[in-house]
Structure 1
Amino acid sequence: MNGTSAEPGTAASDAGPPGLPVASGSETARELWRLSRGYRLRLAATGVLGIVSTGVDLIVSVVIGFLVDRVQAGTADLTTVLTATAVMALSAVLGAAGTALTIVLATRVYHSILAALREQLVDDAMTLPQHLVERVGTGDLISRSSDDVTAVADAAPAVIPVLTVTAFTIVVSLGGLAALEWPYAAAFAVVLPVYVLAVRWYLRIGLGVYRAERTAMSARAQQILESQRGYATVLGFGLAEQRHRAVMTNSWRVARQTLRARTVLSMLNARLNLGECLSLAAVLVVGFVLVDHDASTVGGATTAMLLVLRLLGPVNQLLLVIDTLQSALASLSRMIGVVTIPRGSPDVPAQAASTDVRLDEVSFRYGEGPRVLDDITLGIPSGQRVAVVGVSGAGKTTLAGVVAGTHLPEAGRVTRPSRTAMITQEVHVFAGTLRDNLTLAAPGATDHDLRAALEATGAASILDVLPDRLDTLLGVGGYPLTDAQAQQLALARLLLTDAELVILDEATAEAGSTYAGHLDRAADAVLAGRTAVVVAHRLSQAATCDRIMVMERGRIIETGTHGELIDAGGVYAGLWTAWEAAR
Structure 2
Amino acid sequence: MKPPLIQERGPATMLPVGSPATVRSYVRLLARRHFRGFGAVVGLHTVATLAGLVGPWVLGSLVEDLSAGTAKGRVLSAVGWYLGALLVQSAFMGWSRLRGGVLGEEVLADLREDFLVRSVALPPGVLERAGTGDLVSRGTTDIDRLSKSIREAVPELAVALVSLVLVLGALVVTSPLLAITVVVALPLILSTSRWYFRRAPQSYRAESAGYAAVNTVLAETVDAGRTVESLRLGTDRVELTDRKIGEWQAWERYTLWLRSVWFPTVEATYAIVIVGTLVLGGLFTVRGWLTVGELTAGVLYAQALTHPVDLILRWYDELQVGQASLARLVGVREVEDPETDELAVPDGRRVEATDVRFGYREGADVLHGISLDVAPGSRVALVGPSGAGKSTLGRLLAGIYAPGRGTVTLGGTALARMPAERVRAQVALVNQEHHVFVGTLRDNLRLARPEADDTELRAALDAVDAGEWAEALADGLDTEVGSGGVALTPPQAQQLALARLVLADPHTLVLDEATSLLDPRAARHLERSLSRVLEGRTVIAIAHRLHTAHDADVIAVVERGRISEYGAHHELVAAGGPYAALWRSWRDEH
Give the TM-score normalised by the residue count of structure 1. Answer: 0.90
Amino acid at match of 2:16: P
- Tell me if 1:531 matches 2:526: no
1:30 matched residue in structure 2:
25
2:61 matched residue in structure 1:
66
Matches within 5 A, 1:28-427: 28-77=23-72, 79-156=73-150, 158-160=152-154, 162-345=156-339, 352-367=346-361, 371-416=365-410, 418-419=423-424, 420-427=427-434
| Among 544, 554, 561, the residue aligned to 2:551 | 544
Does the 8 Å CA contact 1:385/1:547 hold for their aligned counterparts?
yes
Does the 8 Å CA contact 2:105/2:151 hold for their aligned counterparts?
no
Question: For each residue in 1:61-102, what CA deviation from the matched residue of structure 2 results, as whole angstroms up to 9, or x when unmatched?
Answer: 11111121112112223x322221221111112111111211
Question: For each residue in 1:214-272, what CA deviation from the matched residue of structure 2 results, as whole angstroms up to 9, or x when unmatched?
Answer: 00011000001001101111111111222111111111211111111111112221331
3-state SS in 1 of match to 2:466? coil
Looking at structure 1, the residues matched to 402 and 182 of structure 2 have their Cα atoms a distance apart, in angstroms, of: 60
Looking at structure 1, the residues matched to 449 and 60 of structure 2 have their Cα atoms a distance apart, in angstroms, of: 72
- Tell me if 1:503 matches 2:510: yes
Looking at structure 2, the residues matched to 468 and 322 of structure 1 have their Cα atoms a distance apart, in angstroms, of: 54
- Tell me if 1:557 matches 2:553: no
Note closer, same or farther for the CA distance 1:239–1:62 as it changes in structure 2 (3 Å cut): same
Does the 8 Å CA contact 1:103/1:164 hold for their aligned counterparts?
no
Amino acid at match of 1:114: L
How far residue 163 of structure 1 moved from its aligned partner, in angstroms, is 2.2
- Tell me if 1:519 matches 2:526: yes
Moved over 6 A (4+): none
Looking at structure 2, the residues matched to 359 and 13 of structure 1 have their Cα atoms a distance apart, in angstroms, of: 39
Larger deviation, residues 481-490 vs 80-89:
481-490
3-state SS in 2 of match to 1:58? helix
Larger deviation, residues 468-477 vs 108-117:
468-477
Does the 8 Å CA contact 2:157/2:316 hold for their aligned counterparts?
no
Larger deviation, residues 265-274 vs 475-484:
475-484
Larger deviation, residues 174-183 vs 226-235:
174-183
Length, aligned pairs only = 569
Does the 8 Å CA contact 2:108/2:151 hold for their aligned counterparts?
no
Does the 8 Å CA contact 1:488/1:522 hold for their aligned counterparts?
no
Looking at structure 1, the residues matched to 573 and 75 of structure 2 have their Cα atoms a distance apart, in angstroms, of: 110
How far residue 143 of structure 1 moved from its aligned partner, in angstroms, is 0.5
Identity %: 36
Larger deviation, residues 189-198 vs 492-501:
189-198
Note closer, same or farther for the CA distance 1:315–1:485 as it changes in structure 2 (3 Å cut): same
1:3 matched residue in structure 2:
none
Does the 8 Å CA contact 2:274/2:302 hold for their aligned counterparts?
yes
Does the 8 Å CA contact 1:210/1:326 hold for their aligned counterparts?
yes
Q: CA RMSD in A?
A: 2.6
3-state SS in 1 of match to 2:32? coil
1:9 matched residue in structure 2:
none
Question: For each residue in 1:302-344, what CA deviation from the matched residue of structure 2 results, as whole angstroms up to 9, or x when unmatched?
Answer: 1111111111023334555544332122111211111343323
1:468 matched residue in structure 2:
475
Matches within 5 A, 1:408-487: 408-416=402-410, 418-419=423-424, 420-487=427-494
Looking at structure 1, the residues matched to 285 and 481 of structure 2 have their Cα atoms a distance apart, in angstroms, of: 80
Looking at structure 2, the residues matched to 556 and 18 of structure 1 have their Cα atoms a distance apart, in angstroms, of: 28
Looking at structure 2, the residues matched to 31 and 370 of structure 1 have their Cα atoms a distance apart, in angstroms, of: 36
Note closer, same or farther for the CA distance 1:370–1:161 as it changes in structure 2 (3 Å cut): closer
Looking at structure 1, the residues matched to 569 and 554 of structure 2 have their Cα atoms a distance apart, in angstroms, of: 7
3-state SS in 2 of match to 1:467? coil
Does the 8 Å CA contact 1:207/1:330 hold for their aligned counterparts?
yes
Larger deviation, residues 179-188 vs 236-245:
179-188
1:4 matched residue in structure 2:
none
Looking at structure 1, the residues matched to 20 and 190 of structure 2 have their Cα atoms a distance apart, in angstroms, of: 18
Question: For each residue in 1:424-443, what CA deviation from the matched residue of structure 2 results, as whole angstroms up to 9, or x when unmatched?
Answer: 12333334332232223333
Looking at structure 2, the residues matched to 284 and 525 of structure 1 have their Cα atoms a distance apart, in angstroms, of: 92
1:5 matched residue in structure 2:
none
Does the 8 Å CA contact 2:107/2:150 hold for their aligned counterparts?
no
How far residue 111 of structure 1 moved from its aligned partner, in angstroms, is 1.7
3-state SS in 2 of match to 1:36? helix
Question: For each residue in 1:483-529, what CA deviation from the matched residue of structure 2 results, as whole angstroms up to 9, or x when unmatched?
Answer: 33222211111222222432111111221222023221243245333
Give the TM-score normalised by the residue count of structure 2. Answer: 0.89
3-state SS in 1 of match to 2:74? helix
Question: For each residue in 1:549-568, what CA deviation from the matched residue of structure 2 results, as whole angstroms up to 9, or x when unmatched?
Answer: 11222211111223333443
Looking at structure 2, the residues matched to 34 and 332 of structure 1 have their Cα atoms a distance apart, in angstroms, of: 13
Does the 8 Å CA contact 1:361/1:376 hold for their aligned counterparts?
yes
Larger deviation, residues 181-190 vs 40-49:
181-190
Residue ranges of structure 2 left out of the alignment (5+ in a row): 1-5, 416-422
How far residue 546 of structure 1 moved from its aligned partner, in angstroms, is 2.5
3-state SS in 1 of match to 2:117? helix
Note closer, same or farther for the CA distance 1:178–1:387 as it changes in structure 2 (3 Å cut): same
Residue ranges of structure 1 left out of the alignment (5+ in a row): 1-11
Looking at structure 2, the residues matched to 41 and 426 of structure 1 have their Cα atoms a distance apart, in angstroms, of: 46
3-state SS in 2 of match to 1:37? helix
Looking at structure 1, the residues matched to 482 and 365 of structure 2 have their Cα atoms a distance apart, in angstroms, of: 38
